[in-house]
Chains A and B, each alone.
Chain A
Amino acid sequence: MNCQDFREISDSYLSDELLVETNHELIQHLENCPTCRQVLSFRRELRGKLRQTLKTSPEFQPNFAFETRLRANLKAEAAGGKSWFNLSFLATAMTGLLVVFSIGFGLLYLNKQSENLNSAKLAWQEISRDAIGDHQHCAIDKLPEFRLEAKEVSPEKTKFSEKYIKALQANFSPSVEVLASHTCKYNGRKFTHTVLQDGNRIVSVMLTESGSASDAKTNLAESIASDKEKGFQIASFKNDNRAVFVISDLPETENLSVARTISNSI
């Protein structure tokens, strides 16, 4: 072992980290090298002095007031009953359970909501089919028979239809007229049915109780749905608890436009 080797491992020697054989080599070198003995002595003294300095320097000692405060804080911490482990464990467990239940109920709720919505959509489609049937029956096939039956509709409902008829006349043409206005039943469902005419075009405006189907729609005019079935354009929307259908052989945009005018006016 030379002096350079000794310097590399002398700290490990002081920390008692060397193998027995290496220790022997180092001691042999020290016996013959006064410089390295001095180096080792210095390093040992430095380490001791460093330890002593930090452990005794007032700068690195906690003062009495702080110690008292720390102990008091810990006592206050301890005065809380069961250990923090228990509290935190219980809190975590409760939070976990709450999350699980919330997710479970949330999924059930969403599932139920989804089921309700699907059911309402089916109900709406059923009403829509009845409305088309009624349009075919009253406005197309039997129109001449109903032309003069407008009196069958209550004054309140007549007043209701007057609102949108005026709006339609203003928006589309002053020549829009009521061909028939009556209450009729189709497939057991009751409709308040107004048949409008402009030129050679016939438009049915039909109101009926929406019932459970109302969940499928909102009250917003923007939610007007458009469909085509049996050669007719059908625009439908919800107004309070009523389903409103506008059925005609007009192009889709025009039929929708009529429905929007009616929706806005009522």
Chain B
Amino acid sequence: MFGFGKSKKENSADFEIEALPLMADVYRVAMWLARDVTEAEDLTQETFTQAFRSFHNYEAGTNCKAWLITILHNLNYKRLRKMNRLQLVEDVDEQIAQTIAFEPAIPQHLDDEEILEALKRIPTQYSQVVVLADVEEFAYKEISRILDVPIGTVMSRLSRGRKLLRGELAVYAQKFGINIEKKTGEIR
């Protein structure tokens, strides 16, 4: 039906209630994607501007955070294309094979910075799924929509991402003499 919809004032009120409280969440993911304060701020600003302009498309009662993060990822994709920084997914099977055998036993010995550094060392296509699932707590289906990839791909990337993260932490812990229990072979 053709109509003039809600007034801007009504839209603004709804947007302020539903979307604006999620600014920190959007910024966090933007920062993770961009790794740069200025770019993260630009991405967040653009995400909220676009979200505000198309707020009539948002279905009240659904996951507003997932909707915002979807917009953010689309903008980031365009940003990377513009900067010619889109990279093919590299084959990390070998990397996984080398790291999967280790399981650090005492993660509480690792501080925030070490965890972040380990996460940053993982290829983006895996770390972004780990962040969306384990930090932002999105369901597979939501991640699938956000990244516009099949659910099976989300599951496999998440599994690989988690293994890579554990491997990175194991290597890191070992490097600094933290007790590592090697599980290769004997675990059945």
A positions within 8 Å CB-CB of B? 2-4, 7, 11, 15, 35, 38-39, 42-43, 45-47, 49-57, 59-62, 66-67, 69-71, 73-74, 77-78, 80-86, 88
Distance of A71 Cα from B116 Cα, bound (Å): 29
B49, A74: Cβ atoms under 8 Å? yes
Checking B15, B31, B104, B137 against A60 with a beta-carbon cut-off of 8 angstroms, the contacting residue is: B31
A7, B187: Cβ atoms under 8 Å? yes
Q: 3 nearest interchain CB pairs?
A: A84-B53, A62-B27, A3-B187
B187, A51: Cβ atoms under 8 Å? no
A60, B27: Cβ atoms under 8 Å? yes
- Choose, from B70-78, B83-91, B105-113, the stretch at the interface: B105-113
Q: A50-B115, A54-B28 are in contact. Are A42 and B5 (CB under 8 A)?
A: no
B159 contacts the other chain (Cβ, under 8 Å)? yes
Contacts A51-B134, A78-B9 given; 6 further ones with Cβ under 8 A? A11-B159, A35-B183, A42-B105, A62-B44, A84-B54, A85-B54
Which residues of chain B have C-beta atoms less than 8 A from A82's C-beta? 4, 7-8
Which residues of chain B have C-beta atoms less than 8 A from A54's C-beta? 28, 32, 116, 131, 135
B48 contacts the other chain (Cβ, under 8 Å)? yes
B8, A83: Cβ atoms under 8 Å? yes
Question: Taking CB as reference atom, which chain A residue is nearest B56?
Answer: A85
B104, A42: Cβ atoms under 8 Å? yes
Q: A77-B49, A77-B53 are in contact. Are A70 and B23 (CB under 8 A)?
A: yes
What bracket does the count of chain B residues touching chain A fall in? 35 or more
Distance of A7 Cα from B55 Cα, bound (Å): 43
14 A-B residue pairs with Cβ-Cβ distance under 8 Å, sorted by A, are: A11-B162, A39-B103, A46-B166, A49-B115, A50-B130, A54-B131, A60-B32, A70-B44, A77-B53, A78-B8, A78-B12, A83-B55, A85-B5, A85-B54
Question: Taking CB as reference atom, which chain A residue is nearest B4?
Answer: A86
Which of B8, B12, B27, B44 has the largest number of chain A CB atoms within 10 A?
B8
**B99-137 interface with A by 8 A CB criterion:** 103-105, 107-108, 110, 112, 115-116, 119, 130-131, 133-135, 137
Q: A54-B32, A62-B24, A83-B6 are in contact. Are A47 and B134 (CB under 8 A)?
A: yes
CB distance from B111 to the nearest CB of A (A): 9
CB distance from B155 to the nearest CB of A (A): 9
B103, A70: Cβ atoms under 8 Å? no
Which of A11, A73, A85 has the largest number of chain B CB atoms within 10 A?
A85
Distance of A88 Cα from B52 Cα, bound (Å): 13
Distance of A11 Cα from B52 Cα, bound (Å): 36
Distance of A36 Cα from B11 Cα, bound (Å): 52
CB distance from B142 to the nearest CB of A (A): 13
Q: A74-B52, A83-B6 are in contact. Are A46 and B31 (CB under 8 A)?
A: no
Distance of A56 Cα from B135 Cα, bound (Å): 11
Distance of A70 Cα from B46 Cα, bound (Å): 9
Which residues of chain B have C-beta atoms less than 8 A from A57's C-beta? 112, 116
Q: A49-B115, A83-B56 are in contact. Are A67 and B7 (CB under 8 A)?
A: no
A77, B135: Cβ atoms under 8 Å? no
B107, A46: Cβ atoms under 8 Å? yes
A83, B45: Cβ atoms under 8 Å? no
B69 contacts the other chain (Cβ, under 8 Å)? no
B135, A66: Cβ atoms under 8 Å? no
B188, A4: Cβ atoms under 8 Å? yes
B80 contacts the other chain (Cβ, under 8 Å)? no
Which residues of chain B have C-beta atoms less than 8 A from A86's C-beta? 4-5
A74, B105: Cβ atoms under 8 Å? no
Checking B7, B23, B133, B188 against A3 with a beta-carbon cut-off of 8 angstroms, the contacting residue is: B188
Distance of A80 Cα from B49 Cα, bound (Å): 13
Question: Taking CB as reference atom, which chain A residue is nearest B51?
Answer: A74
